[in-house]
Amino acid sequence: MLSVIGMAINSELKKQLQSRLSDRVRFDEPMSAHTTFRVGGPADAFVTAIDETEMIFLIKWINDNGLPFFIIGGGTNLLVRDRGIRGIVISLAKNLARISRQGLTGLSAMAGANLGTLCRFAIRNGLSGLNFALGIPGTVGGAVRMNAGAWKGSIGNVIDGIRIIQPDGKVESMEKGALKFSYRSLSFASESSGDLSSSVILEAIFSLSQQSPESLKAEADTMLNARKKSQPIGFASAGCFFRNPDDRESAGKLIDLAGAKGLRVGDAEVSEKHANFIVNRGKASADDIIRLMRIVQETVFQKFNVMLEPEVKIVGD
């Protein structure tokens, strides 16, 4: 992802986008319609890409014109500030979503594929290794970039490689050895490979193992039921809000022990069901959520001398 603040799109560039994309580009598009938090001001331009060829064109065109851009999938794990995002937001969801088998135990998935859909595809095909991701919201591209994980599993453990679009529009394949996965992050293993933040993840290839669909489904049902019991359902959120600190209790446990469950700013609330969820009870603004985040950070710091860092990406003005 690349997000540069302070640059807007002039009228000539808007005309070029409209000429190429027609009604698949919208200007001053409210990001509240495209994030699971249901908050966020307008993007200068919001583009829905239809295929790989169009993505290559867009990335090259954007960089040739020196414009900022931001990639989204399902709008999870994301908080857009109330003044919105300058530049171009590109949505990969829905269209760049192909999932297919790769040999006996491999899968490939485009970056816009829903993570839950990928997990269910693996179950039906008797491929084990992705059940940990059941219930994690979002798309494959975001899950790879954030090294999403749960139940002691993570995306980095099952990745075999990725394809990326470089700023010049060139598509490159990166094997797992060229990638460095760490807690909720991904980078290139070698500095000579460049900066992954300026590239766009296009596709991921997974290396799994064989297991019966019946046993995989039984395991999946157990995991999903546990998630439903422990996580807030029915309110807008971005998933777990804070990163778990190293060698300490989980962020949710620290927030709970600090007495911050139920804290509220406007319609933003620390969930009573899971303390590491901030939920939008209906009319919260991004500013409400950020103010509540800071109160939680201060509350936990005062009690445990631990400064919680947000796992949710906060972007925009």
Angstrom CA distances, 119 to 213, 270, 309, stand at 12, 29, 29
- Choose among 5, 32, 213: nearest CA to 119: 213
**Residue 69 neighbours by CB distance under 10 Å:** 24
Residues classed as catalytic: 184, 240, 311
CB 106 within 8 A of CB 317: no
- Which tokens hold the place of 188? 């290139």
- Choose among 241, 263, 261: nearest CA to 251: 241
CB 253 within 8 A of CB 262: no
CB 88 within 8 A of CB 54: no
